[in-house]
A = this chain, B = another copy of it.
């Protein structure tokens, strides 16, 4: 099956994620959750990691011990969900040092086990999640029904309890206003596409998440297989439109995109939404061969220069305006270094 993924280039697929919803049998579910129950799930998870001899690999983060910026920084880096921050006195996260595995404890379910990898690596991400899944249930049984599968807080997750998703960069489909049609098309496949930051055609940075909508009545393997197929279709479509846009006006296209890079290299104030658009352009510049850079480095920059991440980095309660100035400063430095390495 991994053959299926191979041809999918990082030009479109930024990252792959598999998330499993699990609940322990002997602890109240979220709607009935209390402190005692919450401590129990956190303890189960922590003990499981220790029992597996992997506690040195993980950071245990109690949400109540973190500042608001530190929490939001984790969200910006896709390591936890916003929902984990609903009841910060109850929730925690076990995050592997290499960030490929994150176990959220006491989000909507007791456990949300996430495997996250750059590029098109859904199968590997699933392996990471299922490995952790086994580890976490060695000593404590999950709530599981022979007919329904894994039981979850919200019935939409019952069954496999799995959500697999790919994060896609779709600037050409966005620019040509095709995202509405795309949304309709993928929903017929039982999939959903949504803006990663902001909604619909105004998705910041033209970043979208494609994921399975249905968790019931299909095997995990089938779900991943159909997500890979849909990702491939979308990616091919995106690449074809990119090519068409360039063919139509090669110089104008390169000019528009490289001007964004130029602006980032010198701006003194860089608001978030502008930043996301210019970074989208820079990603496209690399994919189109207008400049050379590691796509992963660009994707990392896109996360690192989100508001909370900047505030944590500066260890300071910056206002939004100050944040925009620090972002501009960091960008100038990083883009400057990137550009000086061009040949």
Chain A positions near chain B (C-beta within 8 angstroms): 251-252, 254-255, 258-259, 261-269, 325, 328, 340
Contacts and interface: CB of A to CB of B under 8 A. Distances in A.
Nearest to A342: B336
B266 A251 contact: no
A292 to B, nearest CB: 14
A259 B263 contact: yes
B251 A258 contact: no
A263 to B, nearest CB: 5
Given A259-B266, A259-B267, 5 more contacts: A251-B268, A258-B266, A258-B268, A262-B262, A262-B264
A44 to B, nearest CB: 51
A331 to B, nearest CB: 10
A264 B252 CA distance: 15
Contacts of A258: 266-268
A325 B258 CA distance: 13
A261 B259 CA distance: 10
Nearest to A266: B262
Contact of A255 (B251, B262, B265, B269): B269
A274 to B, nearest CB: 10
A285 to B, nearest CB: 9
Top 5 nearest A-B pairs by Cβ distance?
A262-B266, A255-B268, A262-B262, A258-B266, A255-B269
Contacts of A269: 251-252, 255
Contacts of A267: 255, 258-259, 262
17 contacts: A251-B268, A251-B269, A254-B268, A255-B267, A255-B269, A255-B328, A258-B267, A258-B268, A259-B266, A259-B267, A261-B266, A262-B262, A262-B263, A262-B264, A262-B265, A262-B266, A265-B266
A98 B158 CA distance: 84
Contacts of A259: 263, 266-267
Contacts of A266: 258-259, 261-262, 265
A301 to B, nearest CB: 17
A251 B325 contact: yes
A97 to B, nearest CB: 37
Contacts of A255: 267-269, 328
A267 B253 CA distance: 11
A252 to B, nearest CB: 7
A252 B262 CA distance: 17
A259 B265 CA distance: 8
Nearest to A261: B266
**Most B C-beta atoms less than 10 A away, residue of A262, A267, A328:** A262
A315 B252 CA distance: 24
A265 B265 contact: yes
Nearest to A290: B268
A323 to B, nearest CB: 12
Contacts of A268: 251, 254-255, 258
A158 to B, nearest CB: 51
**Most B C-beta atoms less than 10 A away, residue of A255, A261, A328:** A255
Contacts of A261: 266
Nearest to A340: B340
A258 B332 CA distance: 11
